[in-house]
Amino acid sequence: MTDGPTTGPTAAPTTGRPLTDGLTADGSSADGLTADGSTADGLTADARKPLVLAAFARGITTLTLDSPHNRNALSSRLVAELREALAAAGRDDRVRAVLLTHTGTTFCAGADLSEPPSASGASGLVDLLRSIVELPKPVVARVTGHVRAGGLGLLGACDISAAGRGASFAFTEARLGLAPAVISMPLLPRLDRRAAARYYLTGERFDAAEAARIGLVTLADPEGDADEALAPVLDGLRRGSPQGLAESKRLVTADVLRAFDRDGEALAALSARLFASEEAREGMTSFLERRDPAWVRQTASEAGAAADAGAASDAGTAAEARVIPDAAPDAGRAPDAAAAGDTGATGAAGDTGTTGPAGAPR
């Protein structure tokens, strides 16, 4: 393995005679770019950059998710590049462990909703998560940003994880008409069951300390430095023998792999079916449009109707008692109306963070 990026598309070959301005006869430059910044095959310079950067130092291969345009969402390209990089680390005899980290303020925003849902996408995520679990080298996650939905599956698949300053977490699928289907295989064997039920169902955001309490991450210091927390962990892994690390990992991942064997195909099918459903389409569309989905508006409407009925009843009672209606405390205000109104694009939808373009919480 080299010390630099090892994945991603390569530059388009240069063809034709170079001109004085650096462009060839076919309109491309010496580095394969056309005058408008795209390659001869239509890719822009940014599109040619790898989304997963790889570097090696002192027995550790660091893989960095670097897809800022969609907040490191699990696009088909990022998934493919990450699998390739993991496989390369697995083949490298110098590597004792893999460190998975990220650029920017988001570790992973979950599914890339700009891509059409497909069975192959769900199967690709199954394969990626399984490749992390099956890799004979320990995989360690370093999190200093937001993690949402499918991104939490990466943490579940990793053997050790540390969350530092800036980390936040949320299972937001239910708010979009989806469910944490595929990612449940590496997560449920590790998570506190009561906590899993709460956060799967509510989509609430929680911090690094809570993530450690429920078993989502290994180490947490909400105000500290994840690198400091990981230093003794990585030092310990460097001291392990290749055989000792591989066989020890096999012992602690056995239950997770059994979950993949038992449920992988069924959960991939469930994920694909949910993504293709009308309800999920409404949830994802509402998020991209920064509005409440239909079911939240329905709840708010029902709350408003109940409030109106309550106000009429209170007003009648006040009149009969010769009391000024406005004196009734908060008469006519539905207790949940404000909460429903607050869950729009910056609440229920804004916290989802499961998209590529919209990404992590604003």
> Quick check: is 159 in a domain?
yes
Instruction: Out of 279, 307, 327, pick the residue that ends a domain.
Output: 279
pTM of the model: 0.74
pLDDT of residue 347: 35
Better pLDDT: 29 or 224: 224
Contacts for 192 with CB less than 8 Å, ≥ 6 apart = 213, 214, 215
Residue 39 lies in a domain: no
Q: Which residue has the higher pLDDT, 145 or 304?
A: 145
- 7 in a structural domain: no
Q: Specify whether 185 is located in the same domain as 310.
A: no
Say which CATH number the domain at 104 has: 3.90.226.10
Same domain? For 189 and 315 the reply is no
Q: Is residue 360 assigned to a domain?
A: no
Domain of residue 338: give its range. Answer: 293-342
Residue 104 has pLDDT above 90, yes or no: yes
92/171 same-domain check = yes
Residues 160 and 299 reside in one and the same domain: no
Mean pLDDT of 140-148: 98
Same domain, 149 and 203: yes
In a domain, 93, yes or no: yes
> Are 144 and 248 found together in one domain?
yes
Higher pLDDT, 32 or 251: 251
**Domain end marker among 234, 251, 279:** 279
Q: Does one domain contain both 163 and 138? A: yes
Task: Read off φ and ψ for residue 306, nearest 5 degrees.
Answer: -65, -35
Q: What is the mean pLDDT of residues 93-101?
A: 98
Angle value at C-alpha 51, between 50 and 56, nearest 5 degrees = 75
* pLDDT at residue 224, as a whole number: 87
Residue 271 included in any domain? yes
pLDDT at 234: 98
**Structural tokens at position 105:** 């303020």
At residue 116, the pLDDT reads 87
Confidence of residue 326 (pLDDT cuts 50, 70, 90): very low
Q: Distance between alpha carbon 231 and the CA centroid of its chain, in Å?
A: 25
Whether residues 154 and 275 share a domain: the answer is yes
The DSSP annotation for 83-151 comes to: HHHHHHHHH-TT-SEEEEEESTTEEE--B-TTSPP-HHHHHHHHHHHHHHHH-SS-EEEEE-SEEETHH
Q: What is the mean pLDDT of the chain?
A: 79
The number of folded domains in the chain is 2
- Residue 199: which of 286, 188, 282 has the closest Cα? 188
User: Are residues 103 and 235 located together in one domain of the fold?
Assistant: yes
Confidence class for position 118, pLDDT limits 50, 70, 90: confident
Q: Mark whether 173 and 305 lie in a shared domain.
A: no
Mean pLDDT of 35-59: 72
Residue 38 forms part of a structural domain: no
How confident is the model at residue 43, as a pLDDT? 52
Q: Is residue 79 assigned to a domain?
A: yes
Q: Are strands 168-170 and 206-207 parallel, antiparallel or unpaired?
A: antiparallel
User: Do 122 and 173 share a domain, yes or no?
Assistant: yes
pLDDT of residue 190: 96
Residues 239 and 150 in one domain: yes
Q: Please check whether residue 191 is in contact with residue 214, taking contact to mean a CB–CB distance below 8 angstroms.
A: yes
